[in-house]
């Protein structure tokens, strides 16, 4: 049933957000049993789930991306599906596959997107930049509208969150996501190998981490019911407020990151007046504010403060800032330094 504006406000007012914050803390604790040494990653994933945004993941092979998403899916109780990006993958491979059955007759079965129907909660597209732009287009529709059309009907996925990983090592036969596609993702979260020696030792020698299926099965199921996240996310956005000073701060950050030279930002070896070819979009700014509100709620506040904005700024904005080609090869280093100097330059209210 479609709620009107007043109904939606009343519905948001009835949500017990303090109780849900307790569930969110339990969710983080449970996921951390399977993915150790990644507390910040887990916090960002939690923010993305409640902000109802899709996520790009970045990290080397074997750092635990799939385990993280399987653990999250277990703890939200919905279905999890995964597909691998390949050069010959076609859009139809996401929604159906054909084969010859034992009786020799052709069969058509539902693909990974359709298999779980409306219960699909987390969809992982591994190495998305190995797939062709036609596949990207279907995924973007799935992300934007949470629907696909197949078999002459429309399928809806109202509770879906898409995660995608990019192969950033190999350049052959890859199709980098265009700016418009990257802008559709709420965040890009980097997952690195834990630096702590004790954590590394545990991952190598604790047999609990050697059987991923058993590890995931040991986690509590359905801590954050996936089919209620849309309502909780709306309630958070409705109840967590922003001040006029914070709004001015966000707009100042936006302006400065689009034109760092005009803002007086200096980076050694970089002409900041020619650094940025395209800055963050208005959609990116709205995603930043959505994520900051969730960060404030998770910390027990009903008003967002500058620390909330700064806590999510890099992950929500860096992947939608586009550098001139001469600087693009040093993106990782320059983006981090640009944002550090941005925080040091723009006055905090």
Distance CA 170, CA 134 (A): 21
In this structure, is the dihedral angle defined by the CA atoms of residues 38, 39, 40 and 41, taken in order, positive or negative?
Answer: positive
Question: Residue 29 and residue 223: Cα distance in Å, rounded?
Answer: 11
> Residue with structure tokens 């010959």?
88
Pick from 264, 23, 53: nearest CA to 162: 53
322 and 208 within one domain: no
Residue 102, phi-psi category: left (phi > 0), alpha (psi -120 to 50), beta (remainder): alpha
Shared domain for 124 and 251, answered yes or no, is: no
**Using CA atoms, how far apart are residues 128 and 23, in angstroms rounded to an integer?**
32
Q: Are residues 89 and 212 in the same domain?
A: yes
User: Could you tell me which of 188, 143, 129 has the C-alpha nearest to residue 317?
Assistant: 188
Q: Considering the entire predicted model, what is its pTM?
A: 0.91
CATH of the domain at 62: 3.40.50.300
- Residue 222 shares a structural domain with residue 78: yes
The tokens for 318 are 């860096």
Same domain, 160 and 44: yes
> What local confidence, expressed as pLDDT, does residue 5 receive?
46
In a domain, 101, yes or no: yes
Q: DSSP secondary-structure letter at 129?
A: G
Domain shared by 206 and 137, yes or no: yes
* Residues found in the chain: 349
Q: What are the per-10-residue average pLDDT scores of the chain (349 residues)?
A: 47 79 96 93 97 92 88 94 91 87 85 92 92 90 91 92 82 76 92 86 86 93 94 96 96 93 90 87 94 97 96 94 87 90 93
Q: 61 lies in which domain range?
A: 17-227
- pLDDT the model gives residue 1: 40
Residue 172 has what pLDDT? Answer: 67
- Say how far apart CA 286 and CA 316 lie, in whole Å: 10
The answer to whether residue 122 sits within a structural domain is yes
The pLDDT, as a whole number, for residue 2 is: 42
Q: Looking at 175, 200, 227, which one is the last position of a domain?
A: 227
With respect to residue 233, please indicate whether it lies within any of the assigned structural domains: no
Q: pLDDT at position 8, please?
A: 47
Please, which residues have CB within 8 angstroms of residue 81's CB and are 6 or more apart in sequence? 112, 113, 115, 116, 120, 122, 123, 124
154 with 199, same domain: the answer is yes
Domain end call among 227, 259, 293: 227
pLDDT score of 100: 83
pLDDT of residue 180: 78
Question: Does 223 share its domain with 246?
Answer: no
Question: Is residue 192 located within the same domain as residue 308?
Answer: no
Looking at residue 130, what DSSP letter applies?
G
- The radius of gyration computed from the CA coordinates of the chain, to the nearest angstrom, equals 21
The closest alpha carbon to 181, from 156, 130, 146, 144, belongs to 144
CATH of residue 278's domain is 1.10.8.80
Q: In this structure, is residue 329 part of a structural domain? A: yes
The answer to whether position 216 is within a domain reads yes
Is 8 part of a structural domain of the chain?
A: no
Residue 25 lies in a domain: yes
Q: Which residue, 157, 221, 168, is CA-closest to 191?
A: 168
DSSP3 helix / strand / coil % (the chain, rounded to 5): 50, 15, 35
How is residue 1 written in tokens?
């049933």
Within this chain, do residues 58 and 195 fall inside the same structural domain, yes or no? yes
pLDDT of the residue at 50: 97
Does residue 159 belong to any structural domain of this protein? yes
Please say which residue of 199, 227, 255 terminates a domain: 227
On whether both 220 and 301 belong to a single domain, the answer is no
Strands (DSSP E) found in the chain: 55-58, 79-84, 96-100, 106-110, 120-126, 147-150, 153-156, 161-165, 187-190, 276-278, 322-323
Q: For the chain, what is the domain count? A: 2
The distance between the two most distant Cα atoms of the chain, rounded to a whole number of Å, is: 72
pLDDT at residue number 176:
79
**Is the same domain home to 257 and 210?**
no
């Amino acid at each position: 049933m479609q709620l009107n504006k007043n109904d939606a406000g009343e519905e948001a007012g009835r949500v017990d957000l303090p109780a849900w914050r307790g569930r969110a803390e339990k969710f983080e604790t449970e996921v951390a049993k399977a993915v150790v040494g990644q507390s910040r990653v887990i916090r960002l994933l939690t923010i993305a789930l409640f902000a109802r945004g899709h996520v790009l993941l970045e990290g080397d092979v074997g750092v635990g991306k799939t385990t993280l998403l399987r653990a999250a899916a277990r703890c939200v109780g919905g279905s999890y599906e995964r597909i691998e990006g390949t050069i010959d993958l076609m859009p139809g491979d996401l929604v159906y596959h054909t084969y010859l059955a034992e009786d020799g007759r052709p069969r058509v079965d539902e693909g990974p997107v359709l298999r779980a129907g409306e219960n699909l909660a987390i969809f992982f597209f591994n190495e998305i930049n190995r797939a062709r732009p036609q596949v990207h287009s279907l995924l973007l529709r799935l992300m934007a509208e949470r629907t696909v059309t197949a078999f002459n009907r429309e399928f809806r996925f109202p509770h879906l969150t898409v995660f995608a990983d990019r192969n950033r090592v190999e350049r052959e036969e890859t199709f980098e996501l265009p700016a418009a596609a990257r802008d559709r993702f709420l965040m890009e979260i980097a997952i690195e190998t834990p630096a702590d020696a004790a954590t590394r030792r545990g991952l190598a020698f604790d047999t609990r981490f050697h059987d991923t299926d058993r590890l995931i099965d040991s986690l509590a199921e359905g801590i954050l019911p996936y089919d209620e996240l849309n309502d909780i996310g709306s309630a958070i956005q409705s109840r967590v407020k922003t001040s006029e000073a914070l709004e001015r701060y966000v707009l100042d950050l936006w302006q400065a990151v689009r034109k760092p030279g005009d803002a007086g930002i200096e980076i050694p070896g970089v002409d900041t007046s020619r650094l940025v070819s395209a800055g963050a979009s208005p959609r990116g700014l709205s995603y930043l504010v959505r994520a900051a509100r969730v960060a404030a709620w998770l910390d027990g506040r009903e008003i967002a403060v500058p620390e909330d904005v700064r806590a999510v700024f890099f992950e929500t904005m860096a992947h939608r800032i586009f550098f001139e080609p001469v600087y693009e090869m040093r993106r990782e280093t320059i983006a981090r330094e640009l944002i550090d100097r941005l925080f040091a330059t723009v006055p905090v209210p």
